[in-house]
């Protein structure tokens, strides 16, 4: 059977239609981004892959089938998992994730994170953090954060994704929902920061697209760290975390 005949057969059977719903975006070029060197990558497939990451709060990691699962034992407390690298003001970050607890959860990514005076997030002069939300969004850190999955016990299906600029928990943009609360399939997250321009995609779907005009907390934030946050009810698994520089 030729390729064309095979394609025709797929269309006739409806298989191609089903396949078309699967994410095809694999690299930053799918989003029109020209990247430079890869700045960091981790398969997240084993403890060795994330040996330099830093967990704050009672987050527990397990590894299976080339995935890293993250949760809080007995749903005790929220937690933040920091990538060890500091990234420039222009980058593309991608990772894959899949929901393992359909009942409740909330996922956030912190980025361009520093102390208020530009200190490294891990600077020992900064107050210690234990996963309490206010320590990240309203105290000694400055950052952007995006909530891209939200199904809390008080709000089973929040209808928006939110981008905030911290400190102050300032909501600067709301977009369509991120990962759908009913989805149990893997998704690819793509976070693009080109200086003041911030975008976030779930697979090929754009949910955040904002340019920081410098009207809240001063100028747009520049370089900093990336952290993955989960609220206490959450259990997602992650893999293939990569960050590229973006060419001017």
- Specify whether the backbone of 196 is left (phi greater than 0), alpha (psi in -120 to 50) or beta: alpha
177 to 5, 55, 152, 202: CA distances (angstroms): 39, 27, 14, 9
Residue with tokens 């320590």: 135
Half-sphere exposure in the Cβ direction for 176 (13 Å, CA): 7
Helix (H) or strand (E) holding 17: helix 15-20
Q: Which two tokens stand for residue 62?
A: 């397990």
On the 0-12 / 13-18 / 19+ scale of CB atoms within 10 A, 187 is buried
On the 0-12 / 13-18 / 19+ scale of CB atoms within 10 A, 109 is buried
CA 148 to chain centroid: 7
Give the CATH class of 25-246: mainly beta
List the chain residues with pLDDT less than 70. 1-26
pLDDT tens per residue across span 227-246: 999 999 999 999 999 999 99
Strands 187-194, 197-202: pairing kind: antiparallel
pLDDT tens per residue across span 91-106: 999 999 999 999 999 9
The confidence score (pLDDT) of residue 24 equals 55
CA 168 to chain centroid: 20
The confidence score (pLDDT) of residue 156 equals 72
pTM of the model: 0.89
Between CA 90 and CA 105 the distance in angstroms is 30
């Amino acid at each position: 059977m030729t390729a064309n005949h095979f394609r025709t057969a797929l269309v006739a059977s409806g298989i191609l239609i089903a396949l078309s719903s699967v994410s095809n975006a694999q690299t930053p070029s799918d989003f029109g981004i020209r990247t430079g060197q890869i700045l960091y990558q981790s398969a997240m497939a084993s403890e060795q892959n994330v040996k330099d990451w830093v967990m704050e709060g009672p987050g527990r990691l397990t590894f299976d089938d080339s995935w890293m699962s993250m949760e809080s034992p007995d749903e005790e407390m929220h937690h933040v998992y920091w990538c060890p690298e500091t990234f420039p003001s222009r980058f593309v970050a991608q990772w894959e994730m899949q929901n393992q607890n359909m009942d409740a959860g909330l996922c956030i990514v912190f980025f361009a994170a520093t102390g208020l005076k530009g200190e490294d997030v891990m600077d020992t002069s900064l107050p210690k953090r234990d996963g309490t939300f206010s320590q990240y969004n309203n105290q000694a850190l400055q950052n952007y954060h995006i909530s891209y999955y939200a199904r809390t016990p008080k709000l089973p299906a929040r209808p928006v994704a939110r981008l905030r600029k911290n400190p102050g928990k300032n909501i600067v943009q709301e977009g369509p929902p991120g990962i759908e609360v009913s989805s149990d399939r893997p998704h690819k997250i793509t976070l693009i920061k080109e200086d003041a321009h911030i975008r976030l995609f779930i697979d090929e779907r754009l949910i955040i697209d904002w340019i920081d005009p410098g009207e809240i907390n001063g100028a747009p934030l520049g370089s900093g760290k990336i952290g993955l946050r989960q609220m206490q009810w959450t259990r997602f698994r992650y893999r293939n975390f990569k960050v590229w520089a973006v060419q001017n």
